Amino acid sequence: MKGLGENPFHTLLLLTEKPGEWAPWQVAPVPLALAAVSGLIWTRATGEVGWGWAVGLGLLFFAAADWGLLALLPRLTVSFGAVQPPFLAMALFRSIVAMLAAIPGAWWPVPASLALVLVELLMFGLAAYGTLVEPFRVQVTHLEVCSAKLSNPGSNLRIVQISDLHVERLSRRERNLPALVAELAPDLIVLTGDFLSTSYNDDPQALADLRTVLEQLQAPAGIYAVWGTIEVDLPPLLRPLLDELGIVVLEEAVARVPCWEEKATDPDLWLVGLSCTRDLAEAGARLRALMGELPPEAFSLLLYHTPDLMPQAVEMGIDLYLAGHTHGGQWRVPGFGAILTSSQHWKRYEAGLYHEGDTTLYVSRGLGMEGFGAPRARFFCPPEVVSITLCGEGT
């Protein structure tokens, strides 16, 4: 079975997109019904109609606040997803909390109602933070990878990895990215897939906005890329743009980085790029064939959208492996980490740095967010640009 679109996570995302097609008048009965049911439960639990009205009207107040927040996001050029799916999810969750609060409310209605209000306020605060603040807290992660395979320990090569842009329209995050990358002074830039949001991957304006970002990136050793998830990156649409900008897409290909000749050291860095698939056995066979094209003792850098090939990469002795795809979970729980990763290995390679055998893997949290009807929000998982310095051992 091939294609990342055939996994349960993608199926779930497809289902979230359906409510985005509903008109507001079709959405309105849902929070009304949930508020009514919650109010009836409080009336039954407390024996007083007043408590039921208070809870029901309170839920409608927060529903209106949620809708206002979500509708404001595109107007502020923050994010551009449909309002209906996250709104309905928040309304359902708020009602569940209210129904559960009716249990202690049967004995202590005042403390229970106050606690309920605090929880509902906290939910709104988290929603505002997750949509308005954290998606723009772009962090730069600095790594150093040294190897005896890299000759001339006095010369370093800086690689900047950008992953999971998921451009919908230009927001402050995309507008600031080129300047941030320029400050890192990269010798080489690598793009590890998912250029456009799934909801906008055939949208002309999104493609034009992607061009605005990519055409400002510069690196003396060039810019290399691999395709991301097959439902996200559409090569017939993206390839002409990347070719025009001089970005080399590695589709089952290897490439020697020429910049090292200018740094007075041997050009012994080799890039290996694969297109993404769900069939890991088939991808592993393609990777093995490509590795056969590398000179002996070459330092190999694998670019593959997901971290799912790590076991095969370790087996083949790949030196450095850069991936994205997981978004670091996008929503993380302190002490537990990612809830969902869309990786076949789930949390095994959810985000960050991993060492197995002679292979170093870095999984970027990426810059953008999931499309479809998923909330455009991050929690405890800020977006990331990765700066890697390659050096000979003994630097």
pLDDT tens, position by position, 3-62:
344 456 666 666 777 777 788 889 999 999 999 999 999 999 999 999 999 999 999 999
111 contacts: CB under 8 Å, gap ≥ 6: 104
Residue 362, pLDDT score: 98
Residue 2, pLDDT score: 35
Residue 395, pLDDT score: 45
Residue 7, pLDDT score: 56
271-326 per-position pLDDT tens digit? 999 999 889 999 999 999 999 999 888 899 999 999 999 999 999 999 999 999 99
Burial group, residue 175, by CB count within 10 angstroms (0-12, 13-18, 19+): middle
Instruction: Quickly state the pLDDT bin for 117 (edges 50, 70, 90).
Output: very high
* Residue 70: count of CB within 10 angstroms of its CB: 22
Q: What share of the chain is helix, strand, coil (3-state, %, to 5)?
A: 45, 20, 35
Burial group, residue 236, by CB count within 10 angstroms (0-12, 13-18, 19+): exposed
Mean pLDDT, rounded, for 183-197: 96
**How many angstroms separate the CA atoms of 115 and 120, rounded?**
9
Whether pLDDT at 154 is above 60: no
Residue 95, pLDDT score: 97
% of the chain beyond a pLDDT of 70: 92
% of the chain beyond a pLDDT of 90: 79
With b for 16 or more beta-carbon neighbours within 10 A and e for fewer, the 287-296 pattern comes to beebbeebee
Residue 394, pLDDT score: 55
To which residue do tokens 């404001």 refer?
Answer: 72
| 386 strand-pairing partners | 141, 161
The answer to whether the beta carbons of residues 279 and 3 sit under 8 Å apart is no
The answer to whether the beta carbons of residues 223 and 247 sit under 8 Å apart is yes
Mean pLDDT, rounded, for 159-169: 97
Residue 12, pLDDT score: 65
Mean pLDDT, rounded, for 153-176: 91
**How many angstroms separate the CA atoms of 223 and 248, rounded?**
6
Mean pLDDT of all residues belonging to the chain: 91
Instruction: Quickly state the pLDDT bin for 365 (edges 50, 70, 90).
Output: very high
Residue 149, pLDDT score: 84
| 306 strand-pairing partners | none
**How many angstroms separate the CA atoms of 393 and 279, rounded?**
36
Residue 265, pLDDT score: 44
- Could you give the 3-state DSSP secondary structure of residue 389? strand
Domains with residue ranges and CATH for the chain: 4-132 (no CATH), 139-392 (3.60.21.10)
Mean pLDDT, rounded, for 97-126: 97
Tally the C-alpha atoms within 13 A of residue 234's C-alpha that lie toward its C-beta. 13
Closest CA to 80 of 238, 233, 206: 206
- Could you give the 3-state DSSP secondary structure of residue 103? helix
